[in-house]
A and B are shown apart, each in its own frame.
Chain A
Amino acid sequence: MRTSRFWQRPAFWGFLFISPWLVGYLLFTLGPMLGSLGLSFCRYDLANLKAVGADNYVRLFTKDPLFWKALWNTATYTLFAVPLGLTGSLLLAVLLNHKVRGLALYRTLYYIPSLVPAVATALLWNWVFNANFGILNNSLRSAGIAHPPAWLQDPNWALPAFIIMSLWGIGGGRMIIFLAGLQGISDSYYEAAELDGAGAWSKFRHVTLPMLTPMIFFNMVLGIVGSFQVFTTAYIMTGGGPANATLFYVLYLFRQAFEEFRMGYASAMAWVLFVILLAFTGIQFWQAKRWVHYEGELR
């Protein structure tokens, strides 16, 4: 049998059609990534380049307290913001899955905050958290708390303020994914559960939640990755202060790269973050086998 010429093979046309993306990926993603890996072993201030071996990594782990501070702030933020956000989005999706009048309007209203640009969101929340005139402290004073926290101006409350603010996005993409998941659950499961005498909580616990585990898993993976990269709001609202209380990892990385021009050091930070996220994601995928259920999956 004669082998067809290469342009007659479907794979050739497949690669040809994805070549714009492929070229873009190689030039603008993979290339810079490998470049930054090389830079992470150099001292580079955009003027002078010098190979320093693993010095940047050694310094990160042994001599830079701000690296640990930034990592701690980011991990704490992630620890609270991701579960809170997931729970909030799920509950909102369950609420918006009920067939009530004006449902489309409610869904739109809850989705709108996620469309607000990050800069506008930051400015808005700056006012919400204003110690003297903010709506939050005014409400707390009305509720009888005479001396509410100074939030963004208090090193003890600035990070919790960012965690509270993370709830702003619960009505966005995550909620839409949960909503799609909820609408994909067949009524027959609920009918069967009802026949077995299940109440509302039992149905949610034993039908809804297991059927939504692929969406929970997906949102959790992306949520952790996103939380570790929190930057814009902190950059605008606090600049990492007060006293480094909101110095998040990517903000510190940005400062090293674009304010102090330590490109090698910043590249090392980026690769450490990459490894951390890879490890977290790997652990989640490994754990997922135990709690994520795919419909029709055979085990």
Chain B
Amino acid sequence: MKWLIGILFAAGLAMLIWRSLPPPEEVGRTTIRYMAWGNPEQLDAEMQLVKEFERRRPDIHVRLTLVPGSAYYQKLQIMLASGTAPDVFRCDHYQFPAYAHRGYFMPLTKFLAADKDFRLDDYFDHTVREGMYKGEFYGPSVLFGSRVIYYNKTAFAKEGLIDPYVLYKRGEWTMDQFLEAAKRLTKYDERGMPTHFGVLANVLDAWTFVWAFGGDILTPDGSRCVVDSPQAVEGLRFMQDLIHKHHVSPSAAESAMMAYTFESGRIAMLFNWAGQAPIYRTIRDFEWDVAPIPRGPAGRISMIKGNQLLMYLNTEHPAEAWAFMKFYVSRDGEMILCTKLRRGMPTRKDVASAREYLQSTQPPFQNDVWVDQYTFGRELPITDRWMFWQREWNKEFELLMLNRVTAHEMARRVTPAIDISLTEEPW
């Protein structure tokens, strides 16, 4: 019996020693931790980037932590608060100002000054602006995206409609053309039940419609709600009419449980981000591509936004963390992400004009649409109060989309409520 206890004790001790040793891939190397989230395609992209970086910098090991998107910010916040945050992490721009406000990020000015290889001029201005907070640069933008229309080319051709991309190139892709196409692409069965809808947009696209009609939801500095202007109300009404007047877009009840999806061919035009393209590449039943948001009475405006790659303020390995961040947004890094894996829009000007990026062998083929977004794209006025006024907006927007209120009523009710959320003391 005694010898058995002795063996068990020795085995336990050996296990403890073994567990306390660094894994073989970390021996003799500096390990930095990098945390990100995303769909399986994105996670695959992250792993490829890490692998390529480690090949080039064998002295650094990147320990990649992948967290489900639904729990990402809870985990990040707790890690930041407890001082256990990873050295580098990705953060959606929706959250970036709120975290920057709390002082969790390393300012990158000193790295920029000391690093002659890295020039902000190489990047589109929008992407640089997004990484700034109160005059300080905190993080290069990655996975930059734009709200575009994914459309079913086969359905357009079958219906004898002119392709939206052709109309766009002719300068004729307008809200009227968009509505006309949506009407013709909406189909019903013999019982009068809809089988196909022309268009599907969501709460985020309210910005696009409001902008297209010349209004705005917040002031450009994000300090006040201005959605009660006649132009903004017109944009909201147009969006509401797509469902309840023209019946070219599914209602909340109709679209529940993903009854109508772009992938199934039941939605002909879908408003979505650039990052969705890899998911749609599995479509085999029809041809698809991307077109810009149609031009409205106020001109052609689109929404652009990205994520920021950030360094933890108290990282023990700032030089290594910076090396990884720099590689991620280098020409080589973006070529992997945007041309090989075709994720998101390039943030670098040289990649956006590269033949390898513009001439794709897989859909979408009309990649100049992405690049054009930098010409007429507009950034959202995201501040550290962004999360707090959204509740008011979402509730009223739901009522609008349910046809329970008119656009004018919604704007009248939501404007003062949002103003309170934007101005009151944090609590």
Contacts and interface: CB of A to CB of B under 8 A. Distances in A.
Interface residues of A, number: 31
Contacts of B137: none
B81 interface: yes
B27 interface: no
Interface string A135-173: 000000000000000101111000000000000000000
Contacts of B102: 45, 47-48
Given A150-B252, A153-B251, A241-B398, A45 B426 contact: yes
Contact of A153 (B77, B80, B103, B256): B256
Nearest to B396: A243
A258 interface: yes
B256 A130 contact: yes
Contacts of B73: 259
Interface size class of B (residues with CB under 8 A): 20 to 34
B254 A43 contact: no
A155 B404 contact: yes
Q: Among A55, A243, A261, find the residue whose CB has the most chain B CB atoms closer than 10 A.
A: A243
B252 A242 contact: yes
B67 interface: no
A131 B193 CA distance: 12
Contact of A131 (B74, B256, B395): B256
B371 interface: no
B104 interface: yes
A213 interface: no
Interface in B374-427: 387-388, 391, 394-396, 398-399, 402, 404, 426-427
Nearest to B99: A47
B104 A153 contact: no
B387 A259 contact: yes
A59 interface: yes
B427 A47 contact: no
A46 interface: yes
Contacts of A261: 77
B286 to A, nearest CB: 23
A153 B426 contact: no
A150 B77 contact: no
Nearest to A152: B256
Interface string A229-258: 000000000000111100000000000001
A133 interface: yes
A130 B102 CA distance: 42
B81 A133 contact: no
Interface in B64-119: 73-74, 77-78, 80-81, 102-104
Contacts of B74: 258-259
B157 interface: no
A132 B253 contact: yes
Nearest to A239: B394
A132 B402 contact: no
Contacts of B387: 259-260
A276 B80 CA distance: 34
Contact of B402 (A45, A52, A126, A155): A155
A47 B104 contact: yes
Contacts of B402: 153-155, 242-243
Contacts of B103: 47
B162 interface: no
B427 A244 contact: no
A174 interface: no
Contacts of A241: 394-395, 398
B259 interface: yes
A153 B257 contact: no
A54 B219 CA distance: 34
A42 to B, nearest CB: 11
Nearest to A247: B395
A177 to B, nearest CB: 35
Contacts of B256: 126, 130-132, 152-153
A153 B250 CA distance: 12
A131 B388 CA distance: 31
Interface string B205-216: 000000000000
Interface in A32-54: 43, 45-48, 52
A90 B427 CA distance: 46
A48 B427 CA distance: 11
B427 A55 contact: yes
Given A45-B426, A260-B387, A131 B399 contact: no
Contact of B398 (A48, A243, A260): A243
B294 to A, nearest CB: 28
B140 to A, nearest CB: 24
Nearest to B394: A241
B259 A132 contact: yes
A244 B395 contact: yes
A15 interface: no
Nearest to A55: B427
18 contacts: A46-B77, A48-B102, A55-B427, A126-B257, A130-B256, A131-B253, A131-B256, A132-B253, A132-B256, A133-B257, A133-B259, A153-B402, A155-B404, A242-B402, A243-B395, A243-B398, A260-B387, A265-B427
Shortest 7 CB-CB distances between A and B: which pairs?
Answer: A131-B253, A46-B81, A150-B253, A153-B253, A47-B102, A153-B252, A243-B398
Interface of A: 43, 45-48, 52, 55-56, 59, 66, 126-127, 130-133, 150, 152-155, 241-244, 258-262, 265
